[in-house]
Amino acid sequence: MRFGVVRFPGSCDEVDALRACERFGEAELLWHGDPDVKGVDAVVIPGGFSYGDYLRCGAIARFSPVMEAVGRFASDGGPVLGICNGFQVLCEAGLLPGALLPNTGRRFLCRQVELEVTSADTPFTGACAVGQVLSIPVKHTSGRYYAPPQMLRELEAEDQVTLRYRGGQNPNGSARDIAAVVNRARNVMGVMPHPEHAVDPLTGSTDGGRLFESLVAHVGGPVPA
Amino acid sequence: MNAGTAESAHRVLGLTDAEHALIVEKLGREPNGVELAVFSLLWSEHCAYKHSKRLLARLPVEGPHLLMGPGENAGAVDVGDGLAVAFKVESHNHPSAVEPFQGAATGVGDILRDVFAVGARPIAILDSLRFGELSSPRSRYLLDGAVAGIGHYGNSIGVATVGGEVYFEGPYEQNCLVNAMCLGVAPKERLIRSAAAGAGNLLVLMGARTGRDGIGGASVLASAELGEDDAAKRPSVQIGDPFEEKKLLECCLELLDLGTLASLQDLGAAGLSSSAAEMASKGEVGIDLDVSAVPLRTEGMEAFEIMVSESQERMLCVIEPARWPELEAVCSRWEVRATVIGEVTTTRRLRVFDHRVGTGGDALVGDMPVSALVDDCPLYDLASSRPDGQIYPPPPRVLESEAPQEVLPALLGSPNLSSRRPLFEQYDCLVGSRTVRRPEQCDAAVLQLVPDGAAAGIAVSIDGNGRRVACDPYTGTVEAVLECTSNLACAGAEPLGLTNCLNFGNPEKAHVAWQLERSVAGMADALTALGVPVVGGNVSLYNESGDGPIYPTPVVGMVGSLPAGDRVPGIGFADEGHLVALVSPRGFSASLPGSELAKLHGEALPDGLPEIDIEAVRECIDLVRAAARSGGIATAHDVAEGGLAVALAECCLAGGIGASVVLPEPESSLAALFGEGVGRFVVAGPRPGILALGERAAPIGTVGGQSFELNGACKWGLGELREASGGLASAFG
């Protein structure tokens, strides 16, 4: 199992994501300027920032050469996980439905939150049980998931909402407490909280590891002890 | 330019007539406009430390772990395993008072560059903030802007903001303080100094274009008092671009790993002038610099503007000419601009050329001996005298009650003591995967040096208490150093080095000079007693307005080593049935004058604080550090502002569990509950671990339940206490 973690200019959680992936498989960085995902088994678009995000989060990154390759990889069924800014990039790129708006509190917010798994039928949550609670931190300014009402109904009807903030813990005003969604084909997921910051008992919880474990199980590689 | 206008020009630029005469003597002629601009900045208080340099010589700067001391962009200590930690604190007070968002943001940007300029990857930011009373709209505006600015820069560049402190006091109403500390980690062999070397080597400017922002910031903003026309000074405040700096940071670290650079220096106060002069001075060489080669943001900038611009996100390096293709390739990959703007010479002069105005010798627009710029600024002895009594007015009375049942929630709800959560949640404290203890989990931030690596780590804290220093500059400063050491001890960490930022008023006034002298004496004595060196820092003077000086505010930041990060105790009580004990120094008695409670009661500041027995405090610090390292205790929290009752309440709130505590007779006075003084700790844990601490740790109670009971007479529910301590959220709308 080999993960590829994209590095844009200004990315800042890419090394954290790389190290998290390395706990569960092999991993390498993918440079934004290379239109190639180098044969990896899964792509992670990390959190942080991309190209400064001065225009709109993810609006520039979607045009980078590597995103062309990520688009092809996704359309061929390869699993793509976008975390935080990566979620924003995937929405901008049209690989995921909806958009991420500024938090209702209008401020950057860094906080440990509890998430409830609402679909385990994806490559990213397969190792979880529906209803399982995961403690994972959020940190973002624009994490309020938005989709038009009709699209929200379709997302729920198609079981595309994979993680929700637990009752009372929605940190940003996301529609229907949505913290993560998958595309219709279920191989692209955007998650606003940071699973890569929840893989080490020394620095917090290890619940984020369930997402990486799910990917490894999906791809079929051995899980290191 | 005739003599008359030249004279007025130097005064406008902040130079005295005597300083101007000395410049004429050193040059052997009148300085031209470019030279005068460069001298005025390098001879400003901010760059030359002309009122503080002699005093600072009193501070200890030697220590067994010291790798790089004062004088470099940042100091560095050896943390073992072949690693160094570089750190420094700096002020951005006046820019933040004029434009809080950009002022604070660029303060963070500046201190980050100082740290990666020595070759270290920045891993953490802490900040120390002071504003006027929270009831003032101006203070809330400055707080909101400064916090947003710090978050904007730190969050965007991907360096965790892991700790800090904020206080609200009337004397900071016009002149807020924004001090930012950064620490970085590097393999020891990657540390690099800023001394330029090798005649013929190239001087390369990397990063952002140079614009008119921040022209004269060091002299205009940092070295004069604030006045009423401060809005007009906004063009002197720089604008930050964390994206540019992120690329510059990654680019510089890659170049250092490749060994491309001979030396590296950040551009901070006084821009190219200061950076080039400092590099030349340390390397005992000269530098020829061509301003017409500098990439500009604005057309038509004059030579002097290019020399003094404080545009952000720029670094200056020296490389051998053969290394240029390598540097160009790395910079191009990171999309960082790199331009050769000069070369190293043997002349020991800083020569400024402008090829837009002529060729050959005609292009020479400034020619100054480096030593005159860097070493010959006159140093001033302070004319100090102890003021006749307390110079600060009493704070407004906001609390009438003296009943402990009402006093505790009032203290927890006061802006200086309430939970900092609404503030620190605006900062990314996680990026980098090093944060073992987050804000309000431990008295010090705890970081692992290598993510996923060995258990060894560091703890870091930043502390200062202006009101206590205003009461007694010597004792208040000793307290600040001991408090910071105590915070590290609660994590089990032993201090390796200290960085300081001395925020004071106008040193040309005798009472401010006295505060400064006594404060530095206190810091020197405390550090000598602890055996901790100063690794570098910053002095910020002229922090006053028409209403008078700020509280004298020495801020200290300490980094300590930690053998095992996985058993660090927390602030919070952990488990039902744990024994609670109070560690206190021999002969200690808590006192109310100068305390937070005295402030709420509107009492005048005392003229002096009780003397501190540093050795007795040190005994307690050592005891708590050893206990924290042993794993025998679960909770350790130093007793600071608000006294023992507040510390106990904080342990309950952080742990989400109550406690029942009985203080021995006659310890039931207000002073025993809410009096202050450094050196006490609340510790808790399984009975054997606590009893093993010996006679300095007196058992006072038991952890359990959902309320905090004190002396059988007072009782507060955790919900009530939590609500009381949540007041700061309202400051952020």
Separation of alpha carbons B659 and B715, rounded Å: 10
pLDDT value at residue B230: 62
Fill in the amino acid letter for B451. P
| B431 contacts A13? CB cut-off 8 A | yes
State how far residue B241 is from chain A, nearest Cα, in angstroms.
8
| A202 contacts B247? CB cut-off 8 A | no
From the candidates A21, A57, A84, A128, give the one annotated as an active-site residue. A84
- What lies within 8 Å, CB to CB, of B135 at 6+ separation is none
Whether residue A191 is predicted with pLDDT greater than 70 in this model: the reply is yes
What average pLDDT score do residues B66-71 get? 92
Across the interface, of B152, B156, B427, the residue whose CB is closest to A110 is B427
Burial B691-728 (b: 16+ CB within 10 A, else e): eebeebbebbbbbbbebbbbbeebebebeebeebbbbb
pLDDT value at residue B731: 86
Could you check whether the bond before residue B295 is cis, i.e. omega within 30 degrees of 0?
Answer: no
Separation of alpha carbons B246 and B253, rounded Å: 11
Separation of alpha carbons B705 and B605, rounded Å: 38
Across the interface, of A10, A54, A110, the residue whose CB is closest to B425 is A110
Q: Is residue B595 part of a domain?
A: yes
Band the pLDDT of B666: cuts 50, 70, 90. low
Question: Is B144 within 8 Å of chain A by CB?
Answer: no
Across the interface, of A51, A107, A110, the residue whose CB is closest to B429 is A110
Residue A23, domain CATH: 3.40.50.880
Across the interface, of A108, A197, A200, the residue whose CB is closest to B151 is A108
Across the interface, of A52, A109, A196, the residue whose CB is closest to B425 is A109
| A197 contacts B247? CB cut-off 8 A | no
Task: Give the number of domains in chain A.
Answer: 1
Count Cα neighbours of B123 within 13 Å in the Cβ-side half-sphere: 29
Q: Is residue B629 part of a domain?
A: yes
What does the pLDDT look like over B470-504, one tens digit per residue?
999 999 999 999 999 999 999 999 999 999 999 99
Question: Is B427 within 8 Å of chain A by CB?
Answer: yes
Across the interface, of B243, B426, B566, the residue whose CB is closest to A107 is B426
Which residues of B belong to the active site?
Answer: 46, 92
A92 included as an active-site residue: no
- C-alpha dihedral, B653 to B654 to B660 to B664, nearest 10°: -110
* B156 chain-A contacts, CB cut-off 8 A: 10, 12, 49, 52-53
Across the interface, of A51, A111, A203, the residue whose CB is closest to B435 is A203
Q: What is the pTM of this model?
A: 0.94
Q: Is residue A224 part of a domain?
A: no
* B432 chain-A contacts, CB cut-off 8 A: 15-16
- Measured in whole angstroms, how far is the alpha carbon of residue B122 from the centre of its chain? 15
| B431 contacts A139? CB cut-off 8 A | yes
* B241 chain-A contacts, CB cut-off 8 A: 52
* A200 chain-B contacts, CB cut-off 8 A: 433, 451-452
Identify residues of A whose CB sits under 8 angstroms from chain B CBs: 9-13, 15-16, 19-20, 23, 48-49, 51-54, 107-111, 137, 139, 141, 194, 196-197, 200, 202-204
Q: Is residue A137 part of a domain?
A: yes
Whether residue B14 is predicted with pLDDT greater than 60 in this model: the reply is yes
pLDDT value at residue B221: 52
How many Cβ pairs within 8 Å bridge chains A and B? 90
* B334 chain-A contacts, CB cut-off 8 A: 9
* A141 chain-B contacts, CB cut-off 8 A: 155
| B448 contacts A10? CB cut-off 8 A | no
What average pLDDT score do residues B81-88 get? 95
Domain with B578 in it: 570-733
Q: Measured over all CA atoms, what is the biggest interatomic distance in chain A, rounded to whole angstroms?
A: 44
Question: Is B422 within 8 Å of chain A by CB?
Answer: no
* A11 chain-B contacts, CB cut-off 8 A: 158
Residue B700, domain CATH: 3.90.650.10
What does the pLDDT look like over B585-641, one tens digit per residue?
999 999 999 999 999 999 999 999 999 999 999 999 999 999 999 999 999 999 999
A213 included as an active-site residue: no
Q: Is A112 helix (H, G, I), strand (E, B) or coil?
A: strand
Among A10, A47, A29, A4, residue whose Cα is nearest residue A138: A47
CA-CA-CA-CA torsion sign (B47, B53, B58, B62): positive
Separation of alpha carbons A18 and B433, rounded Å: 11
Burial B39-52 (b: 16+ CB within 10 A, else e): bbbbbbbbbbbbbb
Domain with A51 in it: 2-219
Question: Is B246 within 8 Å of chain A by CB?
Answer: yes
Question: Is B428 within 8 Å of chain A by CB?
Answer: yes
Chain A residue with Cα closest to B156: A49
| B24, B50, B217, B349, B474 from B368: Cα distances, Å | 11, 20, 22, 5, 41
Token output for A52: 């400064």
What does the pLDDT look like over B164-201, one tens digit per residue?
999 999 999 999 999 999 999 999 999 998 898 899 99
Chain A residue with Cα closest to B422: A109
Q: Name the burial class of residue B587, with classes exposed (0-12), middle (13-18) and buried (19+) by CB atoms within 10 angstroms of its CB.
A: exposed
Token output for B596: 């937070």
Task: Give the number of domains in chain B.
Answer: 1
In B, residues 295-334, which contact A (CB 8 Å cutoff)?
A: 334
Q: Is residue B690 part of a domain?
A: yes
pLDDT value at residue B620: 98
Q: Identify the residue whose tokens are 């660090």.
A: B568
Band the pLDDT of A87: cuts 50, 70, 90. very high
Fill in the amino acid letter for B720. E
- Measured in whole angstroms, how far is the alpha carbon of residue B65 from the centre of its chain? 21
Cα–Cα–Cα angle for B466, B472, B477, rounded to 5 degrees: 60
Band the pLDDT of B456: cuts 50, 70, 90. confident
From the candidates A32, A140, A194, A218, give the one annotated as an active-site residue. A194
Separation of alpha carbons B528 and A147, rounded Å: 62
In contact, B554 and B95? CB cutoff 8 Å: no
| B452 contacts A10? CB cut-off 8 A | no
Separation of alpha carbons A92 and A198, rounded Å: 26
| Helix, strand, coil in percent for chain B, rounding step 5 | 40, 25, 40
User: Lowest mean pLDDT: which of A100-109, B210-219, B531-540, B673-682?
Assistant: B210-219
Q: Is residue B546 part of a domain?
A: no
Among B702, B689, B624, residue whose Cα is nearest residue B662: B702
Helices in B567-679 by DSSP H: which ranges?
596-600, 614-630, 643-655, 670-674
Count Cα neighbours of B473 within 13 Å in the Cβ-side half-sphere: 25
Whether residue B7 is predicted with pLDDT greater than 60 in this model: the reply is no
Mean pLDDT of chain B: 93
pLDDT value at residue B43: 94
- C-alpha dihedral, B499 to B503 to B507 to B512, nearest 10°: -110
Q: Is residue B101 part of a domain?
A: no
pLDDT value at residue B1: 40
Q: Is residue A43 part of a domain?
A: yes
What does the pLDDT look like over B201-243, one tens digit per residue?
999 999 999 998 767 655 555 556 666 566 566 566 778 899 9
Q: Is residue B33 part of a domain?
A: no
Q: How large a percentage of chain B has pLDDT more than 90?
A: 85
pLDDT value at residue A55: 80
**Strand duo B579-583 + A80-83: pairing:** unpaired
| A16 contacts B448? CB cut-off 8 A | no
* B426 chain-A contacts, CB cut-off 8 A: 107-110
| A203 contacts B433? CB cut-off 8 A | yes
